[in-house]
Structure 1
Amino acid sequence: MAETTWRDGHRLVRILSPPLLHSLPSPNPEPRAPPPRHAKTYARKMATSTSLAAALPSRVTSPGRRAALSCTTSRARPRPHPARAVSSSGPRCRLVVTCNAQAAAPISIGQGTPVRPTSVLVVGATGTLGRQVVRRALDEGYDVRCLVRPRPAPADFLRDWGATVVNADLSKPETIPATLVGVHTVIDCATGRPEEPIRTVDWEGKVALIQCAKAMGIQKYVFYSIHNCDKHPEVPLMEIKYCTERFIQDTGLDYTIIRLCGFMQGLIGQYAVPILEEKSVWGTDAPTRIAYMDTQDVARLTFVALRNEKASKKLLTFAGPRAWTTQEVITLCERLAGQDANVTTVPVAVLRFTRQLTRFFQWTNDVADRLAFSEVLSSDTVFSAPMNETYQLLGVEAKDILTLEKYLQDYFSNILKKLKGLKAQSKQSDIYF
């Protein structure tokens, strides 16, 4: 029996919502108390939710067993956080959540089937990082299964690469268990869409996925988080990432958590393309520095960590060779493109005011949440970390990590060569017109 108590209630009480997965009945289940602002939603879900009839079998070589999960809550006066002053109104009540997981009686399902260590489920496989993880896994000989949402335009490119595609939706927990059958490792690259509430996928969906992974005996769970997420509880997305880290650590799963700073791929649409098209690029007046990393390097290091026992139950940070300000990135793009950028600067004060304004309206709460993240990215913050220990742990050479200069140079060289070819074809067609 494993018992875990979260004592970071001064954080969790604001975002914690009940797990939507009820497939594992407890002998004496005690419902989890909801945060105050989710009380009505919680009551409605508890009134309508039912347990799945079938228990989830273990996939190890011993006879299957089913787990029993229960959660109890209590309220206590919090200790002041060392980095924060207690407000004049007095300390808030915190929510202490105790989760218990224990094995119930064996289920007579016969001998289990061993799972191959090369069987991998990639969640969020169509995203910027997810597709690179899929490609890398296939290149290294893994048997890759991709969890994607049902959509009108299916992810055919994943099948063309050689992966198996399964449909599921993290916001619908009943669709998750079937995708985990026969899987050894889960690599979680998923995140919510811009039009969705942040908590739907990034918290509630992830809790359901992690609970399923624990119940079904997944051997390894890889989770991508955000660098410094533990230092910004005022930003919902970063707060959720941090709490998800804690949730994974407390389940007893074998995990590797990887915190990321920023992707080089995102700079193409944000700066490179607008400069080439002579459109405005947006920046801020803050000296934020971000150590961007190529998603291909992230994927490669992920599988190095996956095969390295020293990375088991570790929290790693992946950062690029150098941290860049927005102005430095724009200047680099201008030099490589051979033309000046039309820069529109947005003061950080405007972002902060807009965020506060959108808090007044229920339908703009999610906009405010995302603006909070933008405000952090536009503040005097450095999203970078020393990588020497990580390189040593993984046995990787620093020279093998792509620099931003090289990445953008390759991009502009290729795109300018194509544009030159198109102009040549246009002139040739004019001659024969």
Structure 2
Amino acid sequence: MGNEILVIGGTGNTGAPLVDLLKDSDQSYRVMVRSDESESKMASKDVPTVRAELGDWPSVAAALENIDTVFLVSSPSPDMSVLHKGLIDCALSANVRKVVRISAEPARYSKGLPMYEQHTEVDNYLMAAGLDYVILRPHYFMQNIPQMHASFIKEKQMFAQYLGDTRIPMVDTRDIAKAAFIGLTSDEFNRQIQYITGPQAISFSDVAKAFSKSLGKDVQYVNLPYEDQKAGLEAFGTPDMIVETVMKLFKLWAEGEDQPASNDFEKMTGSTATDIDAFAQEFALAL
């Protein structure tokens, strides 16, 4: 069977490094794109594509022809659960064998967290659908730090974030991609949920220390008040559902116990997850 793997969401934090892994492998795959820009970008890298969009179900049905395994991730949105369940239905109709889906760690305690309630709903739908599956539930992305704070770290040697001293096992999204690659190319972890984390729980103070070391100058972490963090997200134009979910989740973490690390990444890949020191060193070299 040709073009066995279909990647949906191949341009994001996890999808892009996954596509790189597939490109460097002997796997047969193609990436679903929905715009001329994405199609041209993939073509420039010699990445095979198919034009389709979640919600446009005839185009999805065509994209799923001769597909054995689907990788599924998409950006948060109010209609994510509808779109992902629609994809699962199409996969069943097209005789797809397996779906590897990126969920999120809070899906296991999602009540009252709208964005993660959707993940729980879709995870349960996929597990009941009759397909083989691998569900990955990653923790907080290390990439969020440079994406949100790079200019402040570079120019002011500080960054501000609401979380206090709570430690969470932040994860490099490239490690999530490595776990997804194993899920796509091996059946060893079929019908399992895997929690993908960094090697240890760390606080934002630990992040500041790692960046201080890598940059050779003192970087300060400023613990923002809850209301200031919420106002900042709103001012940035973040959708209401995401603001509500993120703030409730951060409050839950800030007022609770440290979040434990998982060994699922090591179990899946046979390697150790990226730690914050290595991540910060790479960030410093890129400046």
TM class by shorter-chain length? 0.7 to 0.9
Q: Among residues 116, 135, 147, which one is paired with 1:257 in the alignment?
A: 135
Q: Which residue is 2:275 aligned to?
A: 403
Structure 2 match to 1:165 = 49
More divergent stretch after superposition (371-380 vs 244-253): 371-380
1:397 counterpart letter in structure 2: S
Bigger fraction of residues in helix: 2
TM-score by length of 1: 0.59
Partner of 1:121: 6
Give the structure 1 partner of residue 199 of structure 2.
321
- In structure 2, stretches of 5+ residues that fail to align are none
Q: Of residues 213, 226, 229 in structure 1, which corresponds to 2:104?
A: 226
Distance 1:409 1:390 in 2: 22
Given that residues 208 and 220 in structure 2 are in contact (C-alpha distance below 8 angstroms), is that contact kept between their aligned partners in structure 1? Answer: no
1:140 to 1:264, Cα distance in 2 relative to 1, 3 A: same
Return 284-293 or 245-254, whichever deviates more: 284-293
RMSD: 2.7
Partner of 2:88: 210
Q: Judge conservation of contact 2:110–2:120 (CA < 8 Å) in 1.
A: no
Q: In the superposition, relative to structure 1, how do residues 278 and 136 fare at CA in structure 2: closer, same or farther (>3 Å)?
A: same
Q: Tell me how far apart the structure 2 counterparts of residues 405 and 207 of structure 1 sit (CA, whole Å).
A: 38
CA-to-aligned-CA distance 1:77-124 (integer Å, 9 cap, x gap): xxxxxxxxxxxxxxxxxxxxxxxxxxxxxxxxxxxxxx34x6211111
Among candidates 11, 15, 24, match of residue 139 of structure 1: 24
C-alpha change, 1:375 and 1:395, in structure 2 (3 Å) is: closer
Question: How many pairs does the alignment contain?
Answer: 281
| Alignment of 1:386 onto 2:265 | no
Distance change in 2, residues 1:268/1:350 (3 Å):
closer
Shift of the 390–368 alpha-carbon distance from structure 1 to 2, 3 Å rule, reads closer
- Is 233-242 or 160-169 further displaced after alignment? 160-169
Task: Render the CA deviation track for 1:325-366: whole Å, top value 9, x for unaligned.
Answer: 1222123223322334465542125567x69xx9xxxxx994
- TM-score, normalised to structure 2, is 0.86
Alignment CA distance shift 1:167-1:274 (3 Å): farther
1:14 aligns with none
- Structure 1 gaps of 5+ residues are 1-114, 193-197, 359-363, 416-433
The correspondence of residues 19-418 of structure 1 with structure 2, limited to 5 A, is 115-116=1-2, 119-150=4-35, 153-192=37-76, 198-200=77-79, 202-278=80-156, 281-341=159-219, 345-348=223-226, 366-378=239-251, 379-380=253-254, 381=256, 382-387=258-263, 391-392=266-267, 394=268, 396-398=270-272, 401-415=273-287
Whether the aligned pair in 1 keeps the contact of 2:67 and 2:96 (CA below 8 Å) is: yes
Cα deviation, 1:387-426, whole Å, max 9, x if unaligned, reads 0x6634x36133xx322201211221342xxxxxxxxxxx
Aligned-partner residue type, residue 211 of structure 1: D
Letter in 2 for 1:183: I
Q: State whether residues 136 and 193 of structure 2, in contact with CA within 8 Å, keep that contact through their aligned partners in structure 1.
A: yes
Identity %: 20
Pick 1 or 2: higher relative contact order, CA cutoff 8 A, min separation 6.
2
Greater mean alpha carbon deviation, residues 134-143 or residues 165-174: 165-174
Q: Deviations over 1:308-329 (max 9, x none)?
A: 3330111111111112212221
1:386 alignment partner AA? S
| Equivalent pair of 1:271/1:330 in contact (CA under 8 Å) | no
Contact 2:197–2:265 (CA under 8 A) maintained in structure 1: no
Q: Relative to structure 1, is the Cα distance of residues 327 and 119 closer, same or farther in structure 2, using a 3 angstrom cutoff?
A: same
The DSSP-based 3-state class of the residue aligned with 2:78 is helix
More displaced stretch, 275-284 vs 337-346: 337-346
Hey, what's the Cα distance between the residues in 1 that align with 2:7 and 2:243? 25
Is the CA contact 1:121–1:186 (under 8 Å) kept in the aligned structure 2? Answer: yes
Of structures 1 and 2, the larger Rg is shown by 1
Residue 140 of structure 2 aligns to a residue whose secondary structure is coil
Provide closer, same or farther for how the CA distance between residues 306 and 175 of structure 1 changes in structure 2, counting only shifts above 3 A. Answer: closer
* d(CA) in 2 for partners of 1:227, 1:262: 8
